[in-house]
Structure 1
Amino acid sequence: MTDDREETAARVFAALADPTRRSILAELAARGPATATDLAGRLPISRQGVAKHLDRLTEAGLTTAETGEGRRIRYRVHTAPMQLAQQFLAAMARDWDARLEQLKNHLEGSP
């Protein structure tokens, strides 16, 4: 994995480490684009808190901001960074699966 991909994966994991950000992202994924005010009305967090978390999600590339009606900013899920993080985890899992299989064979006395 290149350095850029590793940096992107690191930003995604850091952003998703917070349960509030995961809730915001899940809400956007389930119900589509929304403003910070919309999200604050649906989640147990203030509009200012939502805005702060949306900034972190946007910095990680997980959301994009679009200017809508009346200059209201609507946020939309951007999945490419999540897909890259999934690929990172899948590669790591493959490495571990091979190592665990080797350990199992060793412990069982198999070649």
Structure 2
Amino acid sequence: MHYNVMDSLMCPLTGTVFSGVITRKNLKLIIWYQGETIVQAGDVLSSTGKELLVNGIASDVKIITVFPFNRANWALLSSRTGCPANGTRPPSACHRLDTCRFASCPYGLEKLAAMEE
């Protein structure tokens, strides 16, 4: 099965990612996963047995669950994930005051508090 990634949302509280995907048969899903590999819009996911490939390369993605995509659920996830970079206009630095479980920012942002020290 092949999935084209439409968009991804990071959840700093849990260190997980939600990715909206679409199949060749126009089935839209949300994949909730954990791993250091962050998929972005335009990436292609392929399943081969128990392994998930990202753009043809093996990944460390561990799928938590998959559920149907709809715009209302996606908007709700977007508003509740708490990552300031989720959305159409990511900031130039991270202004999140709470802890982030990602080892490094998936968007490449520096923590604003660290820049002020």
Same fold (TM over 0.5): no
Tell which has more relative contact order, 1 or 2 (C-alpha 8 A, sep 6+). Answer: 1
TM-score, normalised by the number of residues in structure 2: 0.27
Higher strand share: 2
More helix by share: 1
